[in-house]
Chain A
Amino acid sequence: METVIKTVNLTKRYGSLVALSNLNLEIQEGDCFGYIGPNGAGKSTTIKILATLLQPTWGEARVCGYVVGYQSRMIRPLLGYVPDYFGAYEDMVVQEYLEFFAAAYNINGQQRTKVVNDVLELTDLAYKRDALVDSLSRGMKQRLSIARVLVHDPKVLLLDEPAGNLDPRARIEMRELLKELRRMGKTILISSHILPELADLCNKIGIIEQGELIYSGPVSDIIRRAKAGTVLQVGVATGQEQAAALLSQDPNVSEVVANNGYLQVSLKDGINDFSFVPQRLLAAGYRLTLLKEEEVNLETAFMRLTKGMVQ
């Protein structure tokens, strides 16, 4: 797999404020990389540097092998950048807006018409081609932003909170569109605060806090790392308190807490085999109604790995 995005000790300072500190990031071709972090953590700064809009204070960023700053002209045709706002030309209609950016990528003549028609179809905006950009809803504007970055068929998409402030339907439509782009083989770097959707969409995740990358790797890996130990949810038909006392006496159990009609049983570190739990309960005559290992999702992992500090 070719490395499409690579940063080495990437640092960006705004005066005394360190927005990025020695960021080392690597994204392979075809990856969908979810970039998460608290507000002000440095996500937009990273994306802006990769989009050639900002110069790093030091360190290096490469996109498709080209160095940002020195070879920005080579990078720009290869990437599509969607900022966290909609850059609207209020006086243009949808088709003009797309043709405008197609022309910016030097796509002219018949090819431009074809490309614009194709992306309008792909983003389901063909019926809005004559509408003024300003008259579109927020969800449509976001789809138009995606359409905009697709006109030149880029290898890399940099999406800065594309689902921010969208209603549920628009968010689902946006997610499906991004999945389609991933299927088309685009390398996507997406920052978002809607973590369940990122978990569904991305194969890799990067967590940034106070300008420092605290994790980067596969989604499954981060969940495994965030998992502090095995936690079980155990339900018994009657005698919940006695059952809790029984389990807490077991040397493999660190804590038992009654929670919403079931018991939350935390096993000691290194104990993964929880077959002894049903055995002991059944042997003591309890009727088991629930036995389930508690899942760690991306939100939980994020909360456990970050301290919630912003600069």
Chain B
Amino acid sequence: MVGQAPLYEMLGIGNYLWRLIPANPILVRVVQAGGKRKRDLLIRCAYLGILLFLVIFLLLQSAGNLASASLSDLSKQSSEIFYYMSYAQLALVALLAPIFTAGAITQEKDSQTYDILLATPLTNGQIVLGSLLSRLFFVVTLLISGIPIFAITQIFGGVAISSITMSFLIACATAFVTGALAMAIAVFKVGTRRTIFSFYLFIMLYLAIPLALEKMGYFQYQWSFDSTGKAQTHISWFAGFHPFLALRVIFGEPAYRPPEAGMVQGYSWPWNWYLSSPQTFYITFMFLLSLVLVTPSIFMLRRLAQSTNTMRGWLMQKLHISTGDRTRKPRHVWANPIAWREAKTKASANRAVILRYGFMTAGLIAAIVLVVMSSTQKPADVYIGAGGYNPNDKTITIMENGAPSVYLLRDRPESGRAATKVQMGEKQLGIEDLREGMVITSYLPDSGAAKKILGTLNVAYPEMRLSEKATRQFLLGAVMIELAVILLILTQSAASTVTREKEDGTLDLLLSTPITSRYYVWGKLRGLVSFVLPLVAVPIVSVLIFVFHDMIRSTPWAAHPLPWTVFPEAILILPATLVMVSAFAAILGMQMSLRCRKTVVAVMSSVGIVAGVCGGLWVCGSGAAGSSVGAPGLIVGCFSPFTLMAILVNPLDVASSSFSENDSAEGRLLVFVFGWAAAALYAFVVWGMYKSMVRNFDMTIRKQST
């Protein structure tokens, strides 16, 4: 008997672990049913199809070279295939994992089965891990199904098994942390159905922002691999936290190599690990983070399920965003109730209020910071002091390391001596053009003169903390992100607007009233556009701030006005374009919302279509505007919203063949005319889609009701 106790305990633990994962009823049900779903099969086929297409495409591309290729060429080719496949795999996992795991967020809401599960003898661990792993099952099987395709890279060699393993582990860690985050949101009741979209947005921004910053050259650390310091490499500081940046490390690019362990011995753990091996740090960190997110869920599951208040509600009350009171003063309902509902009731929800004001505040702060940085001068050692050039006594005060010195200038040749020569780069200036604050790059006193008379003076405009070029780039980045976020918010709102009413039954109530399809669709469109108008104002106001700033700052430099940071006509073109593009995104989302029965399907397909259309137009527009064809390219570019924005904010970089510092009048005129033409075209497209939607509304709804 004494010897049996440990055995019994071991069997008990074994049984617990067996039932925790391999025999977990929740997981077993999903695994058994998983292979039978048509949708899953199609996604799996599409995933493998994309990977196969990539391999075949890359092989065909180099087919001619392969015939006469050396072994080293073949292995190089193999590495290239692996490079692209790894990125494709990670991109697909990053895209699919949130879709498959986000469903967990609403499990509290869809509590019919959730409550039943909680009432069974299943342990918290079984429920949490069962839900998590069953949602990740599909993504993991996708990854496994891709292994044979990755094996192709082994035919030619050149790719280490460890690199393939790392690539899979990075994808797997990404999927796990996504799932664990969704589970934590669900268990801690911080989310609702609408949180699903915020969840997608968060994941996408998390993936996009560090990548963009890395592309722009920010947040990088550099290492030198030889004693001369020439063989420099740079790595993003985010590499240990970002799947794509971590993945890049495993390809061993010479310009993107982390320092070797010996080179970072001076750093304490875990910094030396983070710096020398960001890819392993990422994998370990993400699996640990998944564990950290899941563990409290396991301990708290039933306790949290018993509480009547949600954590979100509790937080809202603590932050004084919501009082928890279930009453409020009624608001005035517009004559078009559909538009009122879209514009007002959605906007007044706590989440929407935070989102709107947060977005507006962040956008305006970013614009103001940019203005301040672009208008604040870098401190110069030598510059023209207060008052600038004094024409009465023909003097200027030169401030050198804080000490003033007064010099005389000679405005015309006198006594056989030449007039003071004032140079700004290649350009010769008159002495009357000298202004307070101008930086003096060099000066030569007239050596033969008795008084302190300047013979030569080289000046430059004061250098700002942020250069003109950098300011434009940052402003463009800011307004583009703002536009992308606006379109995302609007598309998801529009895509869910009809499907939600179908799901909760309110559409039937509306359709039994005298509201016509025309009235309904118009109301929705108007309401959705009204809802995003305050957001659309953010990029416009950002640009407006710069235009005002340019107008004000040009005054003291009247003789040499600096070029506009943003051409002022931008504020005449942007409002019409942005409103029409928003209306386009809204009507596209509404079309999908009408056609789809499920909100998730409508949202995902609409976001995909809008992203595809805008991205496609951007690529084509940027290509055309940046080409050497000049005006025709510029005209084509105006019809892509993102390219138009780029042309308006940063024309010198985006459309260099049509704009130059000295001559941009024709380009500006074309952009003004065709910017408005683009707005008119979008309005026409929206009108056409609106008419088509009205015409097909009844038929589509009727078809769905049968």
Residue A52 is within 8 A (CB to CB) of chain B in the complex: yes
Q: Kindly supply a per-residue 1/0 record for chain B positions 326-361, scoring 1 wherever the CB is within 8 Å of any chain A CB and 0 otherwise.
A: 111111111111101100011011000000000000
Whole-angstrom distance between the Cβ of A311 and the nearest chain B Cβ: 16
Let me know if A105 is at the binding interface, CB within 8 A.
Answer: yes
Docked complex: A12-51 residues within 8 A CB-CB of B: 14-15, 48, 51
Are B505 and A87 closer than 8 Å at their CB atoms?
A: yes
List B contacts of A77 (CB < 8 A): 514
Neighbour of A130 across the interface among B330, B506, B515, CB < 8 A: B330
Whether B512 lies near A52 (C-beta < 8 A) is: yes
Residues from chain A with Cβ under 8 Å of B516 in the complex:
73
Interface residue from A48, A52, A91, A96 paired with B346 (Cβ < 8 Å): A91
* Contact partner, A87, options B328, B331, B508, B515, Cβ 8 Å: B508
Is B300 close to A, CB under 8 A?
A: no
CB distance from A136 to the nearest CB of B (A): 9
Chain A contacts with B in 100-130, Cβ cutoff 8 A: 100-106, 108, 112, 129-130
Q: How far is the CA of A293 from the CA of B656 in the complex (A)?
A: 102
A271 within 8 A of B: no
Which B residues are in CB contact (< 8 Å) with A51?
508, 512
Tell me if A55 counts as interface (CB < 8 A to partner B): yes
Question: A106 is contacted by which of B345, B504, B511, B514 (Cβ under 8 Å)?
Answer: B514
Bound Cα distance A309, B139 (Å): 46
Say yes or no: B513 contacts A105, CB within 8 Å: yes
The answer on a CB contact under 8 Å between A104 and B337 is yes
Chain B residue nearest to A88 (CB atoms) is B504
**Least CB distance, B497 to chain A, in whole angstroms:** 12
Query: How far is A101 from B85 in the complex, measured between Cα atoms in Å?
Result: 55
CA distance A32 to B587 in the complex (A): 44
> Is there contact, CB below 8 Å, between B705 and A96?
no
- The yes or no answer to B510 lying at the interface (CB within 8 A) is yes
The digit string for A83-107, where 1 denotes a CB below 8 A from any CB of B, is: 1011111011111100111111110
B509 at the interface (CB under 8 A from A): yes
* Cβ-based interface call for B702 (8 A): yes
The verdict on A223 contacting chain B, using a C-beta distance below 8 Å, is: no
B706 contacts partner chain A, Cβ-Cβ < 8 Å: yes
B514 near A93 (CB under 8 angstroms)? no
Q: Is A135 at the interface (CB under 8 A from chain B)? A: yes
**Which residue of B is nearest A129, CB measured?**
B330
Q: Residue A89 contacts which of B331, B506, B508 (CB distance < 8 angstroms)?
A: B506
Cβ-defined partner of B506 (8 Å) among A88, A94, A96: A88
Check: A79 CB closer than 8 A to any chain B CB.
yes
Closest A-chain residue to B327, C-beta based?
A: A130
**Among candidates A83, A88, A93, residue contacting B330 with C-beta atoms closer than 8 Å:** A93
| Cα–Cα, bound, A100→B339 (Å) | 10
* Residue from B328, B345, B349, B512 whose CB has the most chain A CB atoms within 10 Å: B512
Q: Is A290 in contact with chain B by the CB < 8 A criterion?
A: no
Residues on B with C-beta less than 8 A from A48 are 508, 705
- Smallest beta-carbon distance A163→chain B, Å: 18
Contacts of B349 in A (CB 8 A): 91
Give A14 to B591 CA distance when docked, in angstroms. Answer: 25
Compute how far the CA of A212 lies from the CA of B340 in the bound complex, rounded to whole angstroms: 43
Which of A81, A85, A132 has a CB less than 8 Å from the CB of B328? A132
Closest B-chain residue to A78, C-beta based? B514
Q: B705 contacts A87, CB within 8 Å? A: no
Cβ-based interface call for A258 (8 A) = no
> Contact at B345–A103, with CB atoms within 8 Å?
no
Residues 440 to 475 of chain B near chain A (Cβ within 8 Å): none
Chain B residues with Cβ below 8 Å from A194 are: none
In the assembly, what is the distance between CA of A225 and CA of B706, in Å? 36
Which residues of chain B (495-521) have a CB below 8 Å from chain A? 504-506, 508-516
> Across the interface, which residues of A come within 8 angstroms of B336, CB to CB?
103
A55 to B698, CA, bound (A): 10
Q: In the complex, A129 Cα to B232 Cα: how many Å?
A: 70
Q: Let me know if A130 and B328 touch, CB within 8 A.
A: yes
Interchain CA distance A95-B333 in the complex, whole Å? 10
| Least CB separation from A52: chain B residue | B512
CA distance A91 to B501 in the complex (A): 13
Contact with B along A218-235 (1 / 0, CB 8 A): 000000000000000000
Could you tell me the distance in whole angstroms from the C-beta of A257 to the nearest C-beta in chain B? 45
Are B327 and A81 in touch, CB under 8 angstroms?
no
User: What residues of chain B lie closer than 8 Å to A179, measured between beta carbons?
Assistant: none
Q: In the complex, what distance in Å separates the CA atom of A14 from the CA atom of B702? A: 12
Which of B327, B332, B338, B511 contacts A53 (CB under 8 A)?
A: B511
With A83-B509, A132-B326 as contacts: A92 and B345 at CB distance below 8 Å: yes
The reply to whether B513 and A76 form a contact with Cβ atoms under 8 Å apart is yes
Residues in chain B near residue A81, CB distance under 8 A: 508-509, 512
A83 to B506, CA, bound (A): 10
> Are B505 and A85 in contact, CB atoms less than 8 angstroms apart?
yes
* Interface members, chain A 43-70 (any B CB < 8 Å): 48, 51-55
Chain B min CB distance to A189 (Å): 13
The minimal Cβ–Cβ distance linking A103 to chain B, given in whole angstroms, is 4
Taking A52-B512, A73-B516, A99-B333 as contacts, is the C-beta distance between A91 and B705 under 8 angstroms?
A: no
Whether B337 lies near A103 (C-beta < 8 A) is yes
Q: How far is the CA of A293 from the CA of B480 in the complex (A)?
A: 85
> Contact at A135–B326, with CB atoms within 8 Å?
yes
**In the bound complex, how far is the Cα of B512 from the Cα of A108, in angstroms?**
19
Whole-angstrom distance between the alpha carbons of A92 and B342 in the complex? Answer: 12
Is A131 on the interface with B (CB-CB < 8 A)?
A: yes
Q: Contacts A87-B504, A131-B327: A103 and B333 contacting too (C-beta < 8 A)?
A: yes
Tell me the minimal C-beta distance from A44 to chain B in angstroms: 11
A87 touches B506 (CB 8 A): yes
Q: How far is the CB of A143 from chain B (nearest CB, A)?
A: 16
Which residue of the partner chain A has the closest CB to B706?
A14
Cα of A52 to Cα of B326 in the assembled complex, Å: 35
Which B residues are CB-close (under 8 A) to A148?
509
**Chain A residues with CB under 8 A of B333:** 96, 99-100, 102-103, 112
B345: A residues at CB distance < 8 A: 89, 91-92, 96
Decide if B512 touches A76 in the complex (CB within 8 Å).
yes
Q: Chain A residues with Cβ under 8 A from B512's Cβ?
A: 51-53, 76, 79, 81
Q: How long is the Cα–Cα vector from A306 to B168 in the complex, in angstroms?
A: 64
Give the one of A53, A83, A95 with max B CB within 10 A. A53
Scoring A15, A96, A130, A135 by chain B CB atoms within 10 A of each residue's CB, the highest score goes to: A96
Contact at A108–B509, with CB atoms within 8 Å? no
Chain A residues positioned under 8 Å from B328 (CB to CB): 93, 130, 132
**Residues A83 and B326 in contact, CB atoms below 8 Å apart:** no
Please list 25 pairs of residues, one from A and one from B, whose beta carbons are closer than 8 Å in the complex, sorted by A's number. Answer: A14-B706, A51-B508, A52-B511, A53-B508, A53-B511, A53-B512, A54-B705, A76-B512, A85-B505, A87-B504, A87-B505, A91-B346, A92-B341, A93-B327, A94-B330, A95-B330, A99-B332, A103-B337, A104-B514, A105-B513, A106-B335, A130-B327, A130-B329, A132-B328, A135-B326
Per CB-CB distance, the 8 closest pairs between chain A and chain B, nearest first, are A135-B326, A95-B330, A103-B337, A99-B333, A87-B506, A81-B512, A104-B513, A130-B327
- Partner-A contacts on B (CB < 8 A): 326-338, 340-341, 345-346, 348-349, 504-506, 508-516, 702, 705-706
Measuring CB to CB, which residues of chain A are less than 8 angstroms from any residue of chain B? 14-15, 48, 51-55, 73, 76-77, 79, 81, 83, 85-89, 91-96, 99-106, 108, 112, 129-132, 134-135, 148
Given contact pairs A52-B511, A91-B345, A103-B336, enumerate 6 new A-B contacts (beta carbons under 8 Å). Answer: A76-B513, A87-B508, A89-B345, A92-B341, A129-B330, A135-B326
